[in-house]
Structure 1
Amino acid sequence: MRIAIGGDKAGESLASLIAAHLQATTLHTIVDMSHLEDNQPELYSELSERVGLAITEGNFDRGILCCGTGIGVCISANKIPGIRAALTHDTYSAERAALSNNAQIITMGARVIGPELAKSIVDAWLARSFDPSGPSAGNVAGIETLSRKYSEHHLPTPSC
């Protein structure tokens, strides 16, 4: 499996720790996409877009994104049509992200969870795979329908 990992300024250390863990314990191909070549600061939306597009374009199978809370990268990744990203802060939600939601990306908050729990979350997620004929297939198909429906429309940006 090919896995893209990325962390913004707040999540970079957790992303690096996860990448090292996976490189030491699995045979997966791991690529850290935390930085652009010029190492300039960027928004977590840009990082999420880079990882999400790498998955939708077929260059990677799954992705892991980290920021301070995991929320910003999750929201950003879910804006990319075809991506299902899940915020995970425990092993059960990580398992369900794979089994029930076919999430290609999980997100975590470096300010929310510790390193050992993060490793366990990633391991739990990677140990599971979605069954396209299973009980959650209809829900995932519904998510895909919404993704296609609203990616075709340019909706006005809500004002705050």
Structure 2
Amino acid sequence: MRIVVAGDSVGVSLSEVLAAHLATCPGLEVTEMSRSPDGAGEYYANIAERVGQAILAGKFDRGILCCGTGIGMAISANKVPGIRAAQTHDTFSAERAAKSNDAHIITLGARVVGTELAKTIVNAWLASDFDPQGPSAKNVEAIGTLDAKYRR
């Protein structure tokens, strides 16, 4: 599985910790994308867009975004048409982000969760898969319909 991890100026330290943690997990290919290729300072909206577009382009399977609370990254990532991002601060919400919502991206708050909890949250999310025939399939399909309706 190909994972992309990124954080804004507040979340970059957590992003780097998570990238290092994931690099030790068998079967994962991890890329850290916090810094802009041109070195420009960025807002979390720019980072979330870059990660979301890379996932939609098929370069990565899933993404993890970090900022101070996880809120700004979640809002920003969900503005990218076709992306489903979920803010997670515990293992149950991370598991459900995958199993019930087929989330491409989870977001974490560096000021909200510690590094060890963040690793556990990420592990729970990556260990969970969406069942396209399961009870949440129609909900995810409806999200896609809503996304397409308002896409420009």
TM-score by length of 2: 0.98
Q: Name the structure 1 match of 2:24.
A: 24
Figure out how many residues of one structure are paired with residues of the other and give that number. Answer: 152
Residue identity matched to 1:130? F
Distance 2:128 2:14 in 1: 22
Within the alignment, does 1:98 sit opposite 2:98 as a pair? yes
Distance 2:57 2:113 in 1: 30
SS at match of 1:103: coil
Extract unaligned runs of 5+ from structure 1: 153-160
SS at match of 1:25: coil
Q: Name the structure 1 match of 2:76.
A: 76
Report deviation, 1:39. 2.4
Report deviation, 1:38. 3.1
Report deviation, 1:37. 2.4
Residue identity matched to 1:83? I
Distance 2:127 2:57 in 1: 23
Distance 1:25 1:99 in 2: 21
Deviation >3 Å, runs of 4+:
none
State which structure, 1 or 2, has the greater radius of gyration over its C-alpha atoms. 1
Instruction: Provide, for residues 13-44 of structure 1, a one-character-per-residue CA deviation record: whole Å limited to 9, x for no partner.
Output: 00000000000123211000100123221010
Q: Name the structure 2 match of 1:138.
A: 138
Q: Name the structure 2 match of 1:54.
A: 54
Extract unaligned runs of 5+ from structure 2: none
Distance 1:80 1:48 in 2: 8
C-alpha RMSD of the superposition? 0.7
After alignment, is 129-138 or 24-33 more displaced?
A: 24-33
SS at match of 2:24: helix
Q: Name the structure 1 match of 2:37.
A: 37
Distance 1:75 1:145 in 2: 19
